[in-house]
Structure 1
Amino acid sequence: MKNTYLSTALGLYLNYLVHGMGVILMSLNMSSLELQWQTNAAGVSVVISSLGIGRLSVLLFSGILSDKFGRRPFIILGMLCYLAFFFGIINTHNIVVAYAFGFLAGIANSFLDAGTYPSLMEAFPRSPGTANILIKAFISMGQFLLPMIISLLVWAEIWFGWSFLVAAAIMILNGLFLLHCTFPPHRAHKSPPVADSKVKHHCSVIDLASYTLYGYTSMTTFYIISQWLAQYGQFVVGMSYTESIKLLSVYTCGSLLCVFITAPLVRKTARTMTLLMLYTFISFVALLTVCLHPSVEMVVIFSFVIGFSSAGGVVQIGLTLMASRFPYAKGKATGIYYSAGSIATFTIPLITARLSERSIADIMWFDTAIAAIGFLLALFIGLRNRMASRRSVNMAPIAE
């Protein structure tokens, strides 16, 4: 099965390399977009928030439909919506129209998530956690490459829009490649056996709520960093613009290292729970440290550590654990979990836009508080899992 779907998996992963670029394209081109749209940083942040609204608007709906109609249609729709975003943003001079294209990018993200995560779990049923975490590796690759591309454009004094066009070109070529790939069959018409469903399909309201809230906090923690790390380095620490955007490359190096370390470790549920708690704790400590001691050396170290702990796959670990409770409705589980993350990508830019008018340093303090809440939630999830094990409630292993 792995050999059958390896080419399909590669195409799905390449979509997320482009998505990694798309998430930070507007924030790294903020000054150019301010001039093009005749607004300020807060205005661009409001447009960035449209990605979260667009993602939230269709994620749960698309996840349920992908369980019913299959994964391929939603992946193709996601790619088409992303292409409209890339071309639309660089050709509009109206912030309202830009907001609409940002909304479309959010929809694209939802469609890709609804089709990709379930596809990978179905293509690699023996190692779904590893398959999902590798998505994060490609997101990180995109976020590693983009600052270099933008630095090159700035150095050569070339139009900033080429960074959008490069992402669009990769998406187009990958779309042509995926048209010839085979997707794994989904379980739309299969019902779980009666004796098996009470066990594998069980997820209490408390557990559902805790995973959903964790989806919000984990997404918030690294989303703030991806959007504001460069500005923090420039305006709080005092780095130059070209040096500050390189912090994102350091950040993505940390996330890539974490992916390669974590991928072989997530085959057992107990070990995965431990990683969830450990990484969330490291994120909290790293944020607290850089807020207390903002300096060039500290922010460089922080960029690597926070990339490792918050952007190295911890969101995907949470999703894999939650999806194990819904083996016959992976699309629905993905929709619920990432809907919480979408609420974060909608609400957080609005909050950080207001905080940025007072102090960018306050944004990092806000992220520190979110990371602390996330750590408490991770502890609670681990405690609930241990209690369930002691009561001999069988939960489907991550490796199955």
Structure 2
Amino acid sequence: MKNKYTPTALALYFNYFVHGMGVIILSQNAANLAHQWGTTETGALAVVSSLGIGRIINLLVSGVLSDKFGRKPFVQLGIVTYFIFFVGILISPNTVIAYILGILAGMANSFLDTGTYPGLMEIYPNSKGTSNVVLKAFISAGQFFLPFIVSFLAATHMWYGWSFLIPATILVITFLYFMFGGAFPDSNSTSKTVEEKITNNNVKTNLWLDGTLFIIYGYISQATFYLVSQMLTQYGQKIGNLPQVAAHSLVSWYSLGSIICVLTTAALGKKFSEIQFVPVYTLGAFISLGLMWIYPTNANLMIILSLLVGFFAAGGVMQLALTVMAEFFPAGKGTVTGFFYTAGSIASFTIPLAINWIGNMRNVMLFDVIIALIGFIDTSLIAMRYKKMFGKLGK
């Protein structure tokens, strides 16, 4: 709390609390929005895909510009764009306008990413991984609370639009904070220490080798947890022959594992560096998924493995890997954020196609195991490069 930029960090975290709501707010209000737009619930849910399109459109560009013009303008731009989405959806007359607003929401997420992740790494240079992983906790908190808000509004027969105006109000508060203050560290000065470490070891970052390894993992990390999160219930029912309630509970255990990992990483962040976590977590994901593929019919084991997969694959390892990538390329934190998350966004588009093409749930799980293995190999190579560059593996 002695850090003078802590209020800025808190405002950044609350933006991601709102983002957590934004990710699921259309699906949570699908019935009401379908009535508003004169379409079916399926038609309303189709608008959700627009967020992914918007995210890809400007990630790379905003990342490069964030390094050039600073973090604050892109955080502010993200807040304004998200605000337009939340308010605009409530007055949108049809799915076409809603789809355009959804694209804006995806772009808002990209603006926030390229301003926030680098910004937090510069605010907390000695706890970069922990500060970024905590973002995931705020996203999860937003996703946790919104369904309760929606349910409360429905139960009390209140207007569903309040579920949009509540996050919009939070954005107004954070925007005013950044307008009248909200200072960020100088992004150029905070990168010099890491650059000096690399120079002192007489090893230069290999743009193509190191960049490719990280971009591959940007895709792999998203694909690994996206696959299992989308098919876990079906896998438990169709392959594991679990009762419906037990199969659905696997997702809850998976989510719990993710939350536990965030807390664990935050607690251990002072003792271990990000590069020490990443290969361990990717190995844990591979082993857990492998056991889930081998023993799908053991209900108790499936519960434990679901928790472990959530811990190792969805508990912040993606954010940790991004933090390590920023150490390799300290002068371009915004740029690397753009490239890294673009790879992840591509995974979100291509993995559903792979699931449909493979078809059989057991083979889909095997596919996820293979992807997780590639992820472990990839992060092990990154760890080797890190040791060569910095002379040691860890703090």
Interval of TM-score (by shorter of Structure 1 and Structure 2): 0.7 to 0.9
Aligned CA distance change for structure 1 residues 248 and 381 (closer, same or farther; 3 Å): closer
Equivalent positions of 1:10-25 (< 5 A) are: 10-25=10-25
CA shift for structure 1 position 305: 4.2
Letter paired with 1:271:
Q
Q: Is the 8 A contact 1:220 1:348 kept in 2?
A: yes
Residue 5 of structure 2 aligns to a residue in which SS?
helix
2:277 maps to 1:276: no
Q: Is the 8 A contact 2:261 2:312 kept in 1?
A: yes
Aligned CA distance change for structure 1 residues 200 and 169 (closer, same or farther; 3 Å): farther
Partner of 1:185: 186
Aligned CA distance change for structure 1 residues 289 and 25 (closer, same or farther; 3 Å): farther
Equivalent positions of 1:29-44 (< 5 A) are: 29-37=29-37, 38-39=39-40, 41=42, 43-44=43-44
CA shift for structure 1 position 349: 6.0
CA shift for structure 1 position 370: 3.6
Letter paired with 1:50:
S
User: Residue 390 of structure 2: which of 383, 388, 394 is its match?
Assistant: 394
Structure 1 unaligned blocks of 5 or more: none
Structure 2 unaligned blocks of 5 or more: none
Size of the alignment, in residue pairs? 386
Residues 266-286 of structure 1 deviation map (CA, whole Å, 9 limit, x = unaligned): 432552233332343266248
Aligned CA distance change for structure 1 residues 169 and 194 (closer, same or farther; 3 Å): closer
2:327 maps to 1:327: no
2:59 maps to 1:59: yes
Q: Is the 8 A contact 2:217 2:378 kept in 1?
A: no
CA shift for structure 1 position 97: 1.9
Equivalent positions of 1:81-120 (< 5 A) are: 81-120=81-120
Partner of 2:342: 339
Percent of aligned positions with the same letter in both sequences?
Answer: 42
CA shift for structure 1 position 309: 2.8
Partner of 1:263: 266
TM-score by length of 2: 0.81
Greater RCO between the two (CA within 8 Å, min separation 6)? Answer: 1
Q: Which has the larger displacement, 67-76 or 159-168?
A: 159-168
TM-score by length of 1: 0.80
Matched residues in 2 for 1:34 and 1:349: separation? 24
Aligned CA distance change for structure 1 residues 199 and 53 (closer, same or farther; 3 Å): farther
Q: Is the 8 A contact 1:269 1:397 kept in 2?
A: no
CA shift for structure 1 position 207: 3.3
Letter paired with 1:385:
A
CA shift for structure 1 position 92: 2.6
Matched residues in 2 for 1:350 and 1:164: separation? 31
Cα RMSD, aligned residues only: 3.9
Q: Which has the larger displacement, 167-176 or 95-104?
A: 167-176
Matched residues in 2 for 1:160 and 1:258: separation? 33
Aligned CA distance change for structure 1 residues 397 and 130 (closer, same or farther; 3 Å): farther
Letter paired with 2:222:
M
Partner of 2:48: 48
Aligned CA distance change for structure 1 residues 132 and 140 (closer, same or farther; 3 Å): same
CA shift for structure 1 position 79: 0.7
Letter paired with 1:258:
C
Equivalent positions of 1:1-400 (< 5 A) are: 3-37=3-37, 38-39=39-40, 41=42, 43-44=43-44, 46-179=46-179, 180-187=181-188, 196=199, 202-223=205-226, 238=244, 251-266=254-269, 267-268=272-273, 270-281=275-286, 284-285=289-290, 288=293, 292-293=296-297, 304-348=307-351, 362=361, 366=364, 369-370=367-368, 372-386=370-384, 389=387, 392-394=388-390
Residue 330 of structure 2 aligns to a residue in which SS?
coil
CA shift for structure 1 position 65: 0.8
CA shift for structure 1 position 76: 0.4
Aligned CA distance change for structure 1 residues 16 and 321 (closer, same or farther; 3 Å): same
Aligned CA distance change for structure 1 residues 221 and 30 (closer, same or farther; 3 Å): farther
Q: Is the 8 A contact 2:279 2:376 kept in 1?
A: no
